[in-house]
């Protein structure tokens, strides 16, 4: 049956040995006193909560799903979810990385990020409820008025209330310039909002007494397109004079979607019928304000997929060690048994190592990005903050798209390890495949992320941000280029770095002549950049493992084996991807529309 063991050893390796986070935290006044023992203790306690409280609810929650009552527009979450949320709040987990001014614990994003990997691995659907709340907190923290912060942030930080973001409408998904929801100003300074939203995760539930909706809508005199969108805070219950939930606001769940996966999270259709809301940030600058929450969500979706990759790998590996089927091609390995465990077969190992490599590479990558965010938020030097923000901007679409693509691959391979049993619900693997598929779609499809990376983050500044990241890789290559033990990692890393630079320049030149060239190349281009990033981190991890492989700790031997597999079996995908990206738009655009 399904199992989950928080990967604390690898998390500690990434944080302490690879990234040496304490050195960075020492430079950040807000986190200067944080030590490794505290970090490990928080992760250990988080691991207990996720494995013991949330994971047992994952399969049952998927089977039961959410229940919608149209008579009162209410949603009941699966059995055990409400009790788990109460334990989550009582333990103080929502406040982990929040501002102490509003009741938060003030711990780094890096630590919160690692905790969220475990939350998502244990139960992605449940985690989406508090995950969206944290995004709402970040948005209001950055753009809310003093009154809005005082009213909403303490309750979001404590977990007493939860939050959502309401963007998508039936006629517009990614193209928010087509948004139609309206906001009419009222004499008291509030607004009445009308419209319909769809695909609103955690838009209605029974976990908390109030839900803080952040809603995009248009003012009466708003210009067309994305420049005419404003952001509003629209609570489910209007706070009374004491700040407690008062009168029911006119924002309702009209239905919940029947979905392929994440059944235990309520994906809602939301109706606003002159609902009362208040402007957040400046008029017609709502998309700018919402990007705080959207970028947090994109990184969060990457963590969802990392969690699924890890838990799918763990279960497939355990199954492969136990399942007897056929004999090894090189002779029996379990002569006392009627067949060998399937882990002896090369292709089973290929599937397992694919999932393992994508999990370990993703863990290093996302921890690195989270550490950049801590620098961006807390470093005393404004120039360091700006450089960190630029790098986060460059890497965010890669986190979202590359990790979610990889999770789809990894979960499918993990299911395949089980053979026919993987297709049966009781083993839990088919749920991971179903849950993983949405992550490639929401919070901006992976095509949108690819266009963002290539068009906005690379070509728009003539590759300046990408070159800065590339300079780190070049420095590492130069530092270890003469180390014979590192040559198997340094040579392919230097090669892919050179190829990314040339490919970026080639696509940029083509784009001057035909903008469709960007759209044609974007998706394979992002995967190439993703592999560049993973190559860099696997080379760095291999360097540490080489130094410690003779200590007798099998962890480092496994790390080296995984790195070697990555460079031998996964990185070569880039040869095909580069050819695809260079092939241009002609083969895509030549066919007349009526022939499709």
Which token pair is 577? Answer: 């991807």
Which residues touch 528 (CB under 8 Å, ≥6 apart)? 496, 499, 500, 503, 574, 577, 578, 581
Query: Which pTM was predicted?
Result: 0.97
- CA nearest 358: which of 117, 116, 119, 570? 570
Which token pair is 69? Answer: 């009552």
* Crossing angle between the packed helical segments 109-143 and 286-322, to the nearest 10 degrees: 160
- Residue 366 has a pLDDT of 98
Q: 216-240 burial by CB neighbour count: b if 16+ within 10 A, else e?
A: bbbbeebeeebebbbbbbbbbbbbe
Measured distance CA(334)–CA(362) in Å, rounded: 34
- Residue 564 has a pLDDT of 98
Looking at residue 175, the DSSP 8-state letter turns out to be -
- Residue 15 has a pLDDT of 98
Low-confidence ranges of the chain (pLDDT < 70): none
- Residue 173 has a pLDDT of 75
- Residue 290 has a pLDDT of 79
Q: 563-591 burial by CB neighbour count: b if 16+ within 10 A, else e?
A: bbbbbeebbeebeebbebbbebbeeeeee
- Please name the helix (run of DSSP H) or strand (run of DSSP E) that holds residue 183, with its range, or none: strand 182-185
Looking at residue 218, the DSSP 8-state letter turns out to be B
Instruction: For 45-123, list the strands marked E by DSSP.
Output: 67-69, 74-76
Half-sphere exposure of 457 (CA within 13 A, CB side): 26
What CA–CA distances, in Å, run from 393 to 21, 24, 113, 183?
21, 20, 17, 31
- Please name the helix (run of DSSP H) or strand (run of DSSP E) that holds residue 232, with its range, or none: strand 230-235
Identify the structural domains of the chain with CATH numbers, from first to last: 8-154 (1.10.540.10), 162-289 (2.40.110.20), 298-309+356-421+431-587 (no CATH)
- Residue 171 has a pLDDT of 85
Measured distance CA(342)–CA(348) in Å, rounded: 7
Which of the residues are catalytic? 443
Measured distance CA(167)–CA(177) in Å, rounded: 11
- Residue 68 has a pLDDT of 98
- CA nearest 21: which of 6, 7, 9, 32? 32
- Please name the helix (run of DSSP H) or strand (run of DSSP E) that holds residue 277, with its range, or none: strand 267-280
- Residue 539 has a pLDDT of 98
233: which strand partners? 214, 278
Which token pair is 407? Answer: 């999770």
- Residue 296 has a pLDDT of 82
């Amino acid at each position: 049956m399904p199992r989950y063991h928080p990967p604390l050893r690898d998390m500690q390796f990434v944080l302490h040995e690879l990234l040496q986070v304490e050195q960075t935290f020492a430079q950040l006044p807000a986190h200067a006193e944080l030590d490794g023992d505290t970090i490990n203790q928080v992760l250990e306690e988080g691991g207990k909560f996720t494995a013991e409280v949330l994971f047992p609810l994952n399969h049952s929650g998927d089977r039961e799903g959410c229940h919608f009552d149209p008579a009162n527009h209410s949603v009941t979450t699966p059995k055990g979810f409400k009790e788990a949320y109460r334990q989550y709040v009582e333990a103080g987990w929502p406040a982990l990385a929040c501002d102490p001014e509003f009741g938060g614990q003030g711990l780094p994003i890096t630590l919160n990020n690692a905790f969220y990997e475990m939350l998502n691995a244990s139960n992605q659907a449940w985690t989406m409820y508090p995950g969206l709340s944290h995004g709402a907190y970040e948005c209001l923290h950055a753009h809310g008025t003093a009154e809005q912060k005082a009213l909403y942030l303490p309750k979001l930080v404590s977990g007493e209330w939860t939050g959502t973001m309401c963007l998508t409408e039936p006629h517009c998904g990614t193209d928010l310039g087509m948004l139609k929801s309206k906001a009419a100003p009222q004499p008291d300074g509030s607004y009445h909002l009308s419209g319909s939203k769809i695909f609103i995760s955690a838009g209605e539930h029974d976990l908390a007494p109030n839900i803080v909706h952040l809603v995009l809508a248009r003012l009466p005199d708003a210009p067309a397109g994305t420049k005419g969108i404003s952001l509003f805070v629209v609570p489910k219950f209007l706070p009374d004079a004491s700040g407690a939930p008062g009168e029911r606001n006119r924002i309702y769940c009209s239905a919940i979607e029947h979905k392929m996966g994440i059944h235990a999270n309520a994906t809602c259709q939301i109706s606003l019928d002159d609902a009362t809301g208040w402007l957040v940030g400046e008029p017609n600058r709502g998309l700018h304000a919402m990007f705080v929450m959207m970028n947090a969500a994109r990184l969060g979706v990457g963590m969802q997929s990392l969690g699924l990759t890890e838990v799918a790998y763990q279960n497939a590996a355990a199954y492969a060690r136990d399942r007897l089927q056929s004999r090894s091609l090189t002779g029996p390995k379990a002569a006392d048994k009627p067949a060998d465990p399937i882990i002896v077969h090369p292709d089973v190992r290929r599937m397992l190592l694919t999932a393992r490599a994508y999990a370990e590479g993703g863990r290093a990558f996302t921890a690195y990005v989270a550490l950049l965010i801590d620098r961006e938020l807390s470093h005393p030097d404004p120039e360091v903050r700006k450089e960190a923000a630029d790098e986060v901007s460059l890497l965010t679409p890669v986190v979202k798209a590359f990790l979610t693509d990889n999770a789809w691959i990894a979960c499918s391979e993990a299911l395949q390890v089980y053979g026919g049993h993987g297709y049966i619900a009781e083993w839990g693997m088919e749920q991971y495949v179903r849950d993983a598929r949405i992550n490639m779609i929401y919070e901006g499809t992976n095509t949108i992320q690819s266009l963002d990376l290539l068009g906005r983050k690379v070509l728009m500044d003539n590759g300046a941000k990408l070159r800065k990241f590339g300079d780190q890789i070049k420095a590492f290559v130069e530092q270890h280029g003469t180390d014979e033990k590192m040559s198997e990692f340094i040579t392919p890393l230097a090669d892919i770095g050179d190829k990314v630079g040339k490919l970026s320049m080639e696509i940029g030149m083509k784009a001057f002549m035909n903008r469709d060239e960007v759209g044609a190349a974007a998706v394979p281009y992002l995967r190439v950049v993703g592999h560049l990033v993973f190559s860099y981190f696997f080379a760095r991890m291999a360097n540490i493992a080489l130094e410690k492989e003779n200590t007798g700790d099998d962890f480092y031997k496994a790390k080296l084996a995984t790195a070697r597999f990555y460079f031998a079996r996964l990185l070569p995908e880039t040869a095909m991807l580069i050819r695809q990206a260079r092939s241009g738009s002609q083969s895509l655009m030549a066919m007349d529309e009526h022939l499709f």
